[in-house]
Amino acid sequence: MGNLGYDDTPFLPDGKWRVHDSTRPQPPIVTPGAACCDCVLVGPPSDAVILFEGTDLSGWVSKADGSPAAWKVENGYMEVVPGTGYIQTKEQFGDCQLHIEFAAPTEIKGESQGRGNSGVFLMGAYEVQVLDCYDNPTYPDGTTGALYGQFPPLANACRKPGEWQTYDIIWEGPRFEGETVVRPARITVIFNGVLLHYATELIGKTTHREVGVYEPHPEVGPLALQDHGDLVRFRNIWYRPLKGYPEG
């Protein structure tokens, strides 16, 4: 496990672990419940806002320059085209229930952060890590489903490369008054039916080898997906805005 991570990065606010600390405990492996059939696709609920339903990327643009998203679409999924960069939704939204499915490349190459890396970026800034951690150890705060660089997942619940996997995320974005964070972002993540984070408060924006800090932004933002050079696929992406109980 020695060189999976870093030993020269700053300490996180807990004072115990460094960013990408290789000595932090590894998340326990939990085998998710069997899918009855790998091709089974459970569609969105009736009030969901569809971000990708499998046929085109008309709702997505390049994160870098707003040009049309250049990833590949086939057979109901989108796939990263390495070198074309992150893509993001035209849709801007805030607190929500988000569903997204992904599959790691079946051709196994690379190790640690080099295997099936991508990412789901809430508001374009806060990453839930996408990685192939099936039989592929890495630094804990970079494991599949990690709040990258901040919190390892409570479990490593990866399915095998090529199998479809699900994230169900409850997202509450940060609130700012001027430059001040009055409420940090809060996130709950369920991966293949296994809880990874429960109302965890983010330290700040996602960074690499640094402690993330908050930078003020609006209460809505896009969903972005990462091009990390690997042929990761995504499908069935939708959200429902969070609402309170009906007022009587």
Residues contributing to the site for Mg ion (CB under 5 A): 117, 119, 226
**Of residues 48 and 230, the one with the C-beta less far from Mg ion:** 230
Secondary structure class of 141 (helix, strand, coil):
helix
Q: From the CB of 20, what's the least distance to Mg ion, in Å? A: 12
Q: From the CB of 130, what's the least distance to Mg ion, in Å? A: 6
Q: From the CB of 131, what's the least distance to Mg ion, in Å? A: 6
**Of residues 5 and 119, the one with the C-beta less far from Mg ion:** 119
Q: How far apart are the first and last CA of the chain?
A: 56
Backbone CA torsion sign across 35, 37, 40, 42: negative
**Of residues 117 and 156, the one with the C-beta less far from Mg ion:** 117
**Of residues 120 and 203, the one with the C-beta less far from Mg ion:** 120
Cβ(216)–Cβ(114) under 8 Å? Answer: no
Q: From the CB of 128, what's the least distance to Mg ion, in Å? A: 9
**Cα(90)–Cα(32) distance, integer angstroms:** 33
Q: What share of the chain is helix, strand, coil (3-state, %, to 5)?
A: 0, 35, 65
Q: From the CB of 97, what's the least distance to Mg ion, in Å? A: 22
**Of residues 144 and 236, the one with the C-beta less far from Mg ion:** 144
Cβ(233)–Cβ(121) under 8 Å? Answer: no
**Of residues 48 and 169, the one with the C-beta less far from Mg ion:** 169
**Of residues 24 and 240, the one with the C-beta less far from Mg ion:** 24
Taking alpha carbons only, the member of 5, 9, 12 closest to residue 26 is 5
Q: From the CB of 100, what's the least distance to Mg ion, in Å? A: 14
Return the beta strands (E) in the chain as ranges. Answer: 49-52, 60-62, 72-74, 77-79, 87-89, 96-103, 118-122, 126-130, 165-172, 175-177, 180-183, 186-191, 194-201, 224-225, 233-241
Q: From the CB of 43, what's the least distance to Mg ion, in Å? A: 27
**Cα(1)–Cα(3) distance, integer angstroms:** 6
